[in-house]
Amino acid sequence: MTSEKITTPDGATLEVFTTGADTGTQGNGIVVVPASMVTAADYSKFAQKLSAALGRPVHTFNRRGRGASSPQPADYTLDVDIRDLSAVMDHTGSTDVFGHSFGGAVALHAARTLPVERLAVYDPAVSVNHSVKADWTAEYERATAAGDFDRGLAVLVKGVETEGAFSRMPLSMLTLANKLTAGTHMGKQARELMQAGVREIKAVIAADMPAEPFLELPLETLIVVGEKSPAYFGVACGQIHDVLSGSSYTILPGYGHDGANKAPDRLISELSAFFSG
């Protein structure tokens, strides 16, 4: 794996990691757009397996607010990530894109205007006809304003429902669990990214639209939803699939929202077949 820093047209810095370039792989690469609350490093296994299966490089980048990439701007909207994806595509010469969760929302909105040839998404956190709701953000902001970041993180986890059994714990127990894991790598990363994560959820809601504008997506679009993922992902994806006649819609059995990070062979095989045309 190699890493480099690129500069976007607005002067920001993005940290880009390429898997496969040093092992003789050639051809148009795949750009991976990561989810909220994670970094490019959380896709190492996914990138390695997909690159090996395709024989093509896989480019994963730290979106703003992560790693060595620039911070999110104060006036952040989804358009910031769309422009950054465009910069990564231009730099790598890639026209195939994979997006996960919030990264899937970025990819779906971006592919309506960017030169994406093949688009695949896993549990995209896109809001279609108000499928994504975040009534919990006011409580999150009250907790963090008071300096209670453990409770704020607990509110976030329960709100997005993506952490399986943890999301179903009582708020008091989840807050305590956050206190106990604060010193771990995962605990530290969650605290570092929670404010950016909530900002991104608000951006998704602000970009809510009907399904019909997604007719502008490329004909080659693959939508994958985890069998154990929260239901709201399937609600939005079903509506997009209904209007996009050329899309493929599949469910990954036995996996939840982190299925992309776990990179099971069944998902890699499906994505490899899709991106191979």
Q: Choose among 229, 189, 191: nearest CA to 41.
A: 189
Q: Which residue has the higher pLDDT, 83 or 145?
A: 83
The chain-wide mean pLDDT, for the chain, equals: 92
* pLDDT at residue 194 in the model: 85
Highest mean pLDDT among 11-25, 60-74, 157-171: 60-74
Residue 208, number of CB atoms within 10 A of its CB:
15
User: Model's pTM, two decimal places?
Assistant: 0.92
Query: What is the 3-state secondary structure of 57-86?
Result: CEEEEECCCCCCCCCCCCCCCHHHHHHHHH
Check: CB of residue 147 under 8 Å from CB of residue 179: no
> According to the model, what pLDDT value does residue 87 have?
98
**More confident: 17 or 24:** 17
54-113 per-position pLDDT tens digit: 999 999 999 999 999 999 998 999 999 999 999 999 999 999 999 999 999 999 999 999
Average pLDDT over residues 118-130: 96
Which phi and psi angles does 208 have, rounded to 5°?
-55, 140
CA 229 from chain centre, in angstroms, equals 14
Task: Give the three-state DSSP class for 128.
Answer: strand
On the question of pLDDT at 23 being above 80, the answer is no
Q: For 169-226, how does the pLDDT look when each residue is reduced to its tens digit (9 = 90+)?
A: 888 888 898 888 888 888 888 888 888 888 999 999 999 999 999 999 987 899 999 9
- In sequence order, what are the residues at sequence separation of 6 or more whose Cβ sits closer than 8 angstroms to the Cβ of residue 112? 213, 214, 216, 217
- What average pLDDT score do residues 41-66 get? 96
pLDDT at 55: 93
Confidence grade of residue 166 (pLDDT, cut at 50, 70, 90): confident
